[in-house]
Amino acid sequence: MKDTPAVAAEVNGADEQRDYRPGYEVVAERILEFIAESRLVPGDRIPTEKDLAQQLGTSRGVVRDAVKILSALGRVRAHKGRGLFVADEDGMLITSRWGGFFRPVDLDHVLMLFEFRRVQETVAAKLAATRATPAELRTIEVAMQQCRHGYVHGEVDVFNQADDDFHAAVAAASHNTFLDSAVREARRLQRQSSAMVHDTFGEGTAAAVEEHEAIYRAIRDGRPDEAAAATTVHLDRTLEDYRREIQRRLFG
């Protein structure tokens, strides 16, 4: 993997240009370059975090954060005790035009992503309230209950997975393939930010649990306008949580 003083300076945070980019974003791009230049295919092993840090002249912590982003994107897979691997074909398919420019700690990008999510998910919830089958309602309900379980028992991974499942289930219940795909893609991008700022429960996790229930009840009871309104409340509040956490991480 080639390296230059300019890249090393950027990776180590020495580049104080106005268009600042966190080191782990740069490292994530360099890892993808390495995969392409080495002609690695899904299932191939890539260097360890230690080796990557040495090759890029940066810390293992920065590499670890970069791997979190790439894992969230579905570009690499980390197998405990075995190492890092290029993702399978399904993971590689999500390298969309959105993922090519999205910066997970850029507040403007996060805002745009949530604006996009608000448009897609409010419509999806509204349609789900008139189209969801009993089986789909049960899937939404189970995800909602798992979110609550994860929060009550302090199980962050359980909550995060259930949160993804909940939003995906609502989108699926819209019975609109394009909405379903758009919601899933936006959620994948959001996980890049989640990987960086939400390694523990945030201030709004308790509120999210109640908001999920409000969305579910509106869909279950066939109230499309209330389902859309509850979704808007949920996404707007979640955005504020992200905004506060990113600002705290970047500026103290």
DSSP codes of every residue in the chain? ----HHHHHHHTT----SS---HHHHHHHHHHHHHHHTT--TT-EE--HHHHHHHHTS-HHHHHHHHHHHHHHTSEEEETTTEEEE--HHHHTT--TTTTT--TT-HHHHHHHHHHHHHHHHHHHHHHHHH--HHHHHHHHHHHHHHHHHHHTT-HHHHHHHHHHHHHHHHHHTT-HHHHHHHHHHHHHHHHHHHHH-SS--TTHHHHHHHHHHHHHHHHTT-HHHHHHHHHHHHHHHHHHHHHHHHHHHH-
Query: What is the chain's mean pLDDT, rounded?
Result: 81
Residue 79 is predicted with a pLDDT of 79
| Residue the block writes with tokens 């020495």 | 14
The pLDDT confidence band at residue 230, using thresholds 50, 70 and 90, is very high
> Mean pLDDT across the stretch 142-168?
94
Strand partners, 77: 85
Residue 100, pLDDT > 60, answer no
pLDDT (tens digit, 9 = 90+) per residue, 165-219? 999 999 999 999 999 988 988 888 787 666 655 556 777 899 999 999 999 999 9
By C-alpha distance, which of 231, 216, 195, 224 is closest to 147?
216
Q: Which residue has the tokens 């899904």?
A: 42
Which band of pLDDT confidence, cut at 50, 70 and 90, is reported for residue 143? very high
Between 6 and 167, residue with greater pLDDT: 167
Query: Stretch 140-167: mean pLDDT, rounded?
Result: 94
Range with the largest mean pLDDT of 33-37, 40-44, 203-207, 226-230: 226-230
Model pLDDT for residues 56-91, shown as the tens digit of each residue: 888 998 898 888 878 876 788 887 778 888 886 444
Q: How far apart are CA 130 and CA 21, in angstroms?
A: 44
Residue 3 is predicted with a pLDDT of 45
